[in-house]
Structure 1
């Protein structure tokens, strides 16, 4: 699980919401999922920092508290855990226990109805929702680059104005190279 998360997290974290976005966190059923799939442990973050934890229908009460924009304190059955937000949106809540390599993955129960009941299926959801968009952006960038190169080639063939045409060609070539360098920098920043 850790290997899977470490491979995909850096590419999707930019889409994450802040953990203190109560409109997404509260009053929804967040189901804990592990390497084997659904655990049937459901967390419901309520008003006044009340936490309900249901394990196969047996409910215990706990509490939760924001520590900062990316940390949350969760107390269940007299045990308190400090978590750091790794990824959060209306479908997935990925928390990492502070100062450890342990992750807890929660999914909105609506995803279970859609068939996302394992880590492998969640990976597909991430790729479908976010990484495909990145690939499409990169494809558009590549297409734009090819168009610029073709324009430059056509303009370099224009010899009616001699040195003036060469000067325009060199200027446009330099601008294109700067644009390409910027795009490469952006793309590498996303990977």
Structure 2
């Protein structure tokens, strides 16, 4: 759990932004997550009493909200502790003991009515995409980038991409799952490639339905990549040189040709009878 919580705090702190949250703490069921896991449930009452449920057993504490400094004072067992808070969303609040950067001094509060499975980061990622069209993508090297889509269709090409608030450097990047690769220039995604697997362990990072000249190939340095239909007729043959596609020959499969011929014949026959009826 320590690794998970450390990763969660690091990612939440790395967001550098907040969603449509408010500072209304009272009368909500806040599940407290720390480095030890789920440690209990907090309910901040309007009268300054804080109810703490630990496996159903209730304790009481005191709390005070200082909104101007985004702080909470919690009094428990005679000790008073000052926490700084950050509202990421109406359902997620990050607390940390004042002036401390230790992960052990962080607590993540989650409203379990809004996030019943307590998968905090999945919830935040979904909310960012829905509200701000921002997609969080973890790269193969572990870094996380923010992709700001131009519209609700979330097309990668043309989107802005940043790392810790700064434009991502020019280059080609691969996501953690090695399914998507994108080329960045001046903080903008210029091209997007998806990994397509073919026979004999060969894969092509391609931008469309077919390989194109210049696209990167894995599995062979020299040779030919073929795609075939059920009738064993090839749809394309891509020549590979130095690990890249050097040429492509496309051909319709026999099945597609048969359908096209049938449709054409049907149209011609229908037109013939229609004209004959008019004469």
C-alpha distance in structure 2 between counterparts of 1:125 and 1:12, whole Å: 16
Moved more, 130-139 or 45-54: 130-139
Distance change >3 Å, CA 36–CA 111, structure 1 → 2: farther
Task: From the CA coordinates, give the structure whose radius of gyration is larger.
Answer: 2
C-alpha distance in structure 2 between counterparts of 1:96 and 1:33, whole Å: 12
- Cα distance, 1:55 vs. partner? 1.5
- Cα distance, 1:61 vs. partner? 1.6
Q: Secondary structure at the match of 2:65?
A: strand
Distance change >3 Å, CA 49–CA 57, structure 1 → 2: same
Length-normalised TM-score, structure 1: 0.60
- Cα distance, 1:8 vs. partner? 3.4
Q: Secondary structure at the match of 1:140?
A: coil
- Cα distance, 1:110 vs. partner? 1.5
Unaligned runs of 5+ in 1: 146-182
- Cα distance, 1:52 vs. partner? 1.1
Kept in 1, the 8 Å contact 2:32–2:41? The answer is yes
Kept in 2, the 8 Å contact 1:11–1:131? The answer is no
Is structure 2 residue 19 aligned with structure 1 residue 15?
Answer: yes
Counterpart residue number, 1:77: 77
| Residue from 131, 136, 148 that aligns with 1:138 | 148
Greater strand share, 1 or 2? 2
Kept in 1, the 8 Å contact 2:20–2:90? The answer is no
Q: May I ask how many residue pairs the two structures share in their alignment?
A: 142
| Deviant stretches of 4+, over 4 Å | 141-145, 187-191
Q: Secondary structure at the match of 2:148?
A: helix
Distance change >3 Å, CA 139–CA 78, structure 1 → 2: same
Length-normalised TM-score, structure 2: 0.43
C-alpha distance in structure 1 between counterparts of 2:85 and 2:20, whole Å: 9
- Cα distance, 1:7 vs. partner? 3.0
Distance change >3 Å, CA 14–CA 90, structure 1 → 2: closer
Greater helix share, 1 or 2? 1
- Cα distance, 1:42 vs. partner? 1.2
The alignment yields a C-alpha RMSD, in angstroms, of 3.1
C-alpha distance in structure 2 between counterparts of 1:92 and 1:14, whole Å: 10
Kept in 1, the 8 Å contact 2:91–2:114? The answer is yes
Counterpart residue number, 1:127: 125
Counterpart residue number, 1:57: 56
- Cα distance, 1:188 vs. partner? 6.5
Counterpart residue number, 1:5: 9
Kept in 2, the 8 Å contact 1:85–1:94? The answer is yes
Unaligned runs of 5+ in 2: 136-145, 167-279
